[in-house]
Amino acid sequence: MSIFAPLPDVSISLRVLARLLAYPDAALQADLADMRNALHAQNNVSPARLAELDALMGTLAHPDRIDLESAYVELFDRGHATSLHLFEHVHGDSRDRGPAMIDLTQTYEKAGLFLAPGELPDYLPVLLEFVSTQPPREARAFLAEMAHIFNAIFSALQQRHSAYASVLGALLELSGEKAQAVKVVPDESIDASWEEPVVFGGCSVKGQAKPGQAQPIHFVKNDAARERAANAGVTA
């Protein structure tokens, strides 16, 4: 295909994929039939991927929405690897995340897209809504820039045997990239992430159960302190 050949319009497909990644509420269930018809009409993803998306929509149509909502929260809101906030995968909790958020918000506003209160610009469904407003070539280039993040989320979802992996696979197809497995960094357990730091971890105090008596203090050197002492010629 010539590089100058027109690319297919993917705007409707992107909006459907964005919607599929949103919280599975009653409004989403009511729109599933129209979303399925729109995806098939645009026919922008491979037949195999389209079949996977059909299966996902079949799951989302389940009448027991409480289970769907609970599974969604567990999957996307309780771990880093499957987070739909893209800058979490790029910047984590570093200070770079704030300026990146501002830059992306300004990009949206220049295109006439203004976020609702509480919406974050790096939330994938929001970003896909923006990309859907761009011409096909620009939309594909924008998606391609994020392909490495899509692959990371895709791999994490596959590892969890989640049907939502089909949405990320479809995005990779629309970006012109290939969905492939990459190494998934295990999420830190919730207990570990909320664990209180050790106070005065450099010393150990014994005998505190006997008030009024002299309390011997025993200093305990950690590994880093032992290494510094060894380098200085001091025996720990």
Residue 10: pLDDT band with limits 50, 70, 90: very high
Judge whether residue 216 has pLDDT over 80: no
Measured CA to CA, the distance from residue 192 to residue 206 in angstroms comes to 27
Judge whether residue 199 has pLDDT over 80: no
Please compute the mean of the pLDDT values over residues 37-46 and round it to a whole number: 95
Judge whether residue 218 has pLDDT over 50: no
Quick one: pLDDT at residue 197? 43
Element (H, E) at 234: none
Contacts (Cβ under 8 Å, ≥6 apart) of 69? 23, 24, 25
Quick one: pLDDT at residue 169? 96
Quick one: pLDDT at residue 88? 81
Judge whether residue 2 has pLDDT over 50: no
Measured CA to CA, the distance from residue 131 to residue 111 in angstroms comes to 10
Q: Alpha helix (H) ranges present in the chain?
A: 11-20, 26-42, 47-60, 65-76, 86-90, 97-110, 124-131, 136-145, 147-159, 165-174, 190-193, 223-231
Nearest to 156 by CA among 179, 130, 191, 181: 181
> What separation in angstroms does the CA of 159 have from each of 75, 148, 151?
12, 17, 12
Measured CA to CA, the distance from residue 71 to residue 161 in angstroms comes to 12
Residue 85 has what DSSP assignment? Answer: B
Measured CA to CA, the distance from residue 179 to residue 169 in angstroms comes to 6
Q: Alpha helix (H) ranges present in 64-135?
A: 65-76, 86-90, 97-110, 124-131
Q: Residue 176: which region, alpha, beta or left (left: phi > 0; alpha: psi -120 to 50)?
A: left
Quick one: pLDDT at residue 4? 53
Quick one: pLDDT at residue 186? 66
Please compute the mean of the pLDDT values over residues 21-49 and round it to a whole number: 96
Quick one: pLDDT at residue 72? 96
Q: Give per-residue pLDDT as tens, 145-179.
A: 999 999 999 999 999 999 999 999 999 999 999 88
Residue 205: pLDDT band with limits 50, 70, 90: very low
Phi/psi for 14 (5° steps) reads -65, -40
Quick one: pLDDT at residue 150? 95
Q: Which residue has the higher pLDDT, 151 or 111?
A: 151
Report yes or no: 152 and 81 within 8 Å, Cβ to Cβ: yes
Quick one: pLDDT at residue 92? 59
Enter the tokens of residue 175.
């970006």
Quick one: pLDDT at residue 70? 95
Please compute the mean of the pLDDT values over residues 112-132 and round it to a whole number: 89
Tokens 């609702």 belong to residue: 116
Measured CA to CA, the distance from residue 142 to residue 134 in angstroms comes to 9
